[in-house]
Structure 1
């Protein structure tokens, strides 16, 4: 009990310092000051040498992903975010509408508590930190145990940048090692808003902690390849997406549903880009979940390590970058239908688009509902059909899913590492978590000329159709 009390006192102190720093930040606030803080945090991770060091430490300490892709992710996610928020008003008058008589004033939330995963131990906290200070907040980050070292390094770089421009280090803090559930719980209960990305256990705790929370659901991306798709383009994009950072992203494809009429041709294209067909579902399942849990020797590993762990040496080409495993089952007793965090794709076959859509919906309702679905097609009706019927917040069309879902320079999605899944995924939001979730506002309401309609204006058409 003594240790728990000591831990809670430590979090109370961190929150007190964060709250005092945020009060001063807001009292002297200006758009220029908030923008400067965001740019300082952004350069802390984007400066090439620091980016490399963060990427190397992230891979070394978590055992997840690969250095080159971490460097790319740290750079592009941060650059995209800074592009998104450039010119965004987060201080003073955000909106003034003479017609409604409403003036909206931007206001900080206060202290943000950010729960971040080990899969992106630098990029995700950096994204949250930049959004938080852009909106005038302080932020306290709770990293996963494996992500502590990378988070410590990131904060050291941010504090060095803050020192250069006279910003208070207490605006950006973290729960120090060793982390614990008690510390994280205390942070969530003591801050003004929780932003949570990570395990479903953490998401549940965030959403029940009593503090307003934005938490995101699980990913388990399914992509349809129909009979109008450019098969070579689809194969190249799926390979690029599936293998990026060793499939650590929640937006990495986990299943492909291909129509029977193009299955053979599609598999040829996949083979040409390093996708090996392994027709041994039972064997892969046994090795991928040897004790009912994902095999740590497989998840988020380089291709060669994954192949060795799955005992596929000599059974797949040396050029193999990922594998496709044909399966039919969906649900808890068919683990290939869920998220795999590895270079393993479940392969489903469908007679026609109707069956492909039905299979995709079943997979989503099993796991990943609300997150995102992909399609490779030239048929607009198929895209609209999915958008109107699928339990998902995003339909990614003819793109490499990992790069598209969380924002891309070639689409209009906000750059983010946290994808809200809406009511389908048990989340309060179904947007990409972005700067607007780190801001609140005060509205000045002035009197305007009355706009009261007559009953006939409201009910006239209805009375004509149904009678008064």
Structure 2
């Protein structure tokens, strides 16, 4: 098939999506949108289908592990459905006599969603549910390795749609084989682009000429200060670092520990399954993790035993090792351990005191991952608030397992999402978790009201008193 035919395919599915969306919106009510979102949610959460999707994802991408993907598919979808259950995404949502404005919520139309291979079912499902909740049609563009999972997910969704009389064309995907040209055509033809994935994809989304909501890169660093509960910190970092073999953008890539508790933390980390690799062995790890300048596919998102063999560490660490923590002090392009590793490998920094730890964390984020999130394990909440004032980050995760907390948890107030906006620091237009509000827009009906024009003294009185006229 030539490029012209490829683009013709995209034109055809976008046309079908537009027709389906128009019919979906026409005469709709909130119940219709809610039912569609629930149908898509049950498509991935039904236990047999969930397991099949998880197994297929690991088989076709080679990333992550089945038990954790089952948990992720379930909890991320369940949490999202909880978040949107009471959200009003249809009709009049406010009517204010004081301003004379009536606000009506409307769909954006056809959403084009670019999704990564790290979560080839959970991320598309999240986008699809949000799109349907807002009255939209959606077309998903998976990465090449994510095609099989996306195809199966859509098969399950369409089966649920058939049960409740919804048009299958509301949820489509870029036909396989995918290509950059097809994805580009989709981004140019749809009404809003939602992009999660590589920074190359994000750049293309933001320059396609269609309004885009894209998210930045993660490279989480967590501070462990001298007041932290070290056992709890070590156990949470271990659970987070190893979940789904570190495929998440919210997985800790580095930890910086205050000198006063460094040795004690390393001891607790060892109990939790984190093996220390001394600084004099760091170059060996770097050489095997980036053998040709690129991350080693035998290490990325692999189970611990496979990763340790690939890194030549199987005989050098305890048999129950879940991840390794490599001592380093380097930050920047010449020090790859300071960047994202997509594996059960943690960079471990030692700081002379808390202020030095903060500076290390700032330097790491300034190199990579600005805007995404930073973690802190501390008994002093004011330190977390101060990080929120000074760090180039949109989220400060306090005393929690970072992977589970950043994208929404049943034990914190963040919206459930697999896509984290990183604000201006990460080159994004949003600074919050991608959620249902990014899939709607509003129309305002504006009526005349009595004038509310202030006098000059009302506006400048306090300024004149201080500075004079």
TM-score (norm 1): 0.99
Root-mean-square deviation (Å): 0.7
Q: Report matched runs for 1:29-428 at 5 Å.
A: 29-279=28-278, 280-428=281-429
Q: Any idea what SS the aligned residue of 1:297 has?
A: coil
The Cα of 1:449 is off from its aligned counterpart by 1.8
The Cα of 1:451 is off from its aligned counterpart by 1.5
Q: Take 2:27 and 2:170, find their aligned partners in 1: how far apart are those partners?
A: 14
The Cα of 1:454 is off from its aligned counterpart by 1.7
Structure 1: which 4+ aligned runs deviate by more than 2 Å?
Answer: none
The Cα of 1:456 is off from its aligned counterpart by 1.5
Residue in 1 aligned with 2:440?
Answer: 439
- Unmatched runs of 5 consecutive residues or more in structure 2: none
The Cα of 1:461 is off from its aligned counterpart by 1.2
The Cα of 1:94 is off from its aligned counterpart by 1.3
Q: Any idea what SS the aligned residue of 1:173 has?
A: strand
Q: Take 1:253 and 1:49, find their aligned partners in 2: how far apart are those partners?
A: 31
Q: Take 1:287 and 1:144, find their aligned partners in 2: how far apart are those partners?
A: 26
TM-score (norm 2): 0.99
- Aligned pairs, how many? 467
Deviation sequence 1:179-212 (CA, Å, 0-9, x none): 0000000000000000000011100000000000
Q: Any idea what SS the aligned residue of 2:350 has?
A: strand
The Cα of 1:336 is off from its aligned counterpart by 0.3
The Cα of 1:381 is off from its aligned counterpart by 2.7
53-62 vs 373-382, which deviates more? 373-382
Q: Take 2:464 and 2:398, find their aligned partners in 1: how far apart are those partners?
A: 43
Q: Take 1:54 and 1:313, find their aligned partners in 2: how far apart are those partners?
A: 31
Q: Take 1:384 and 1:441, find their aligned partners in 2: how far apart are those partners?
A: 34
Q: Take 1:98 and 1:146, find their aligned partners in 2: how far apart are those partners?
A: 53
219-228 vs 439-448, which deviates more? 439-448
The Cα of 1:313 is off from its aligned counterpart by 1.4
Q: Any idea what SS the aligned residue of 1:14 has?
A: helix
456-465 vs 216-225, which deviates more? 456-465
The Cα of 1:98 is off from its aligned counterpart by 2.0
Q: Take 1:404 and 1:451, find their aligned partners in 2: how far apart are those partners?
A: 45
Q: Any idea what SS the aligned residue of 1:444 has?
A: strand
